[in-house]
Chains A and B, each alone.
Chain A
Amino acid sequence: MSALTLYNYELDENSYRVRLLLSMLGIEHDVYSVNMLPGREEKSPALLALNPCGTLPFIKQGDTVLFGAEAILAHLARHNDASGKWLPIDRPDFSTTMMWLGFAAGPLQAAVKAREVAVFAVGGHLERLKADARAAFRIMDDHMTLRHIEGKEWFAADYPTIADLALIPSFALSRDFNIDHEEFPALRLWLRRFRRLPGFITMPGIPDYH
């Protein structure tokens, strides 16, 4: 397969989602560092020609460009994970994996936006976004509380999937916008488990215990 390039900004949470899977699956790739702040390079004509949405991350492989972190995660897992578990296409857990992947792209983006407002000082209604992020974390904590009672450790399956991977960053970074972890005990245990998986990497805002 031709070389894979990730268009990345180090402090961008959605870019981190893709970096995390690239690391956990050990996928070789090049990185194009986008000057998102302050340059807004992702909105430049050259990058809009590749990704008309003007968002990060996106990947380019040969003539193919994929934007949207969740689509990229599914694509990378589909073609690079021999175990077939990260994206369990042929397993009964496929539907729940897709549901929680959709949750990461949907309600949980309030947390992504809350962090952008808090950290990058871009426009937005921080208190409303924080309330929506808290509501999303509650849905996740309620789910993992019931999973824990059933003796399950991951969101969608008996093993980690790209759903866990897509959900983790927002919770791990929530202190950036002043939502602490103490109200979400089941998520705390889940984050600790995920951190111990092979290939896990952090980003600024996620403590790297030394």
Chain B
Amino acid sequence: MTPQPIWSPVALSNMVDPSTSTGAVVNGAELVVWRDSSGKAHVWEDRCPHRGMRMSFGFVRGDHLACLYHGWQYDTAGQCRHIPAHPQLDVPQTIRMQTFASAERNGIIWAGSTTEADPALLPAEIAGLVPVRSLYADCTMEKALAILAATPLPGVSDAPKIETISENYISLTAGATRLLVAIQSMGDAKLALHLMANEGAPIAALARYAQALRLALETPLAEVA
């Protein structure tokens, strides 16, 4: 399965340390997001070509990601470079990972839908943002957008002003607070909201707002009214 749309957020940049990996699902496609020791982020299909083990369970060694199962190591281009059971083997070029384009923009790691996704299609840069949190919830994109539009930001009574930056990226503004919401569609009625705010915004209050938001997002529709 191929992740859609062209660029999807998969994590807040500050929550993936160098030399670590994590999983991410974009519309049913299982991905591994990992940072090499130099700090560069990579996004691949979350499956070792050897036995299908999830690479997100694996570990980073320098600029290689190693599979937890048999220790096969892949370089940053996804090419297998080392097979511990055959240390002398010059690994064939055919043993490689399915890779996807990746980019960091506005405090978020974005995964491309293909290896060659066009970076020109990433959202425009916004300066001076700080991380709030990622919020995972069982709800649809439509419902999330409706609830985000109707829920006041902390310390403000009016509903926020909404600006749609792209199909999965919106900006909410109220008073001096601007909250950027990047929406990762994980599958049917399952998503993650990756939240960044302007510097000086009440970050802890926004994190609590997000926590409360999850209750609304996961309340069956009949009960909302």
Chain A residues packing against B (C-beta within 8 Å): 138, 142, 145-146, 149-150, 175, 180-183, 185-186, 188-189, 192, 207, 209-210
Let me know if B48 is at the binding interface, CB within 8 A.
Answer: no
Of A180, A186, A210, chain B has the most CB atoms within 10 Å of the CB of A180
Contact indicator B15/A188 (Cβ below 8 Å): yes
User: How many interface contacts (CB-CB < 8 Å) are there between A and B?
Assistant: 45
* Interface residues of B, dominant DSSP: mixed
Contacts of A189 in B (CB 8 A): 15, 17
Report if A182-B20 is in contact (Cβ < 8 Å); known contacts: A142-B211, A146-B204, A146-B207. Answer: no
Let me know if B177 is at the binding interface, CB within 8 A.
Answer: no
* Interface residues of A, dominant DSSP: helix
Q: Quick one: which of A146, A181, A207, A209 contacts B22, CB cutoff 8 A?
A: A181
Q: How far, in whole Å, are A24 and B173 apart by their CA atoms in the complex?
A: 48
Q: How many of B's residues come within 8 Å of A, CB to CB?
A: 24
Contacts of A145 in B (CB 8 A): 133, 207
1/0 per residue B119-137: CB within 8 Å of A?
Answer: 0000000000000011010
Let me know if B208 is at the binding interface, CB within 8 A.
Answer: yes
Q: How far, in whole Å, are A185 and B108 apart by their CA atoms in the complex?
A: 13
Contact indicator B207/A181 (Cβ below 8 Å): no
Let me know if B203 is at the binding interface, CB within 8 A.
Answer: yes
Contacts of B203 in A (CB 8 A): 149
Closest A residue to B24 using CB positions = A182
Contact indicator A150/B204 (Cβ below 8 Å): yes
Contacts of B57 in A (CB 8 A): 175, 207
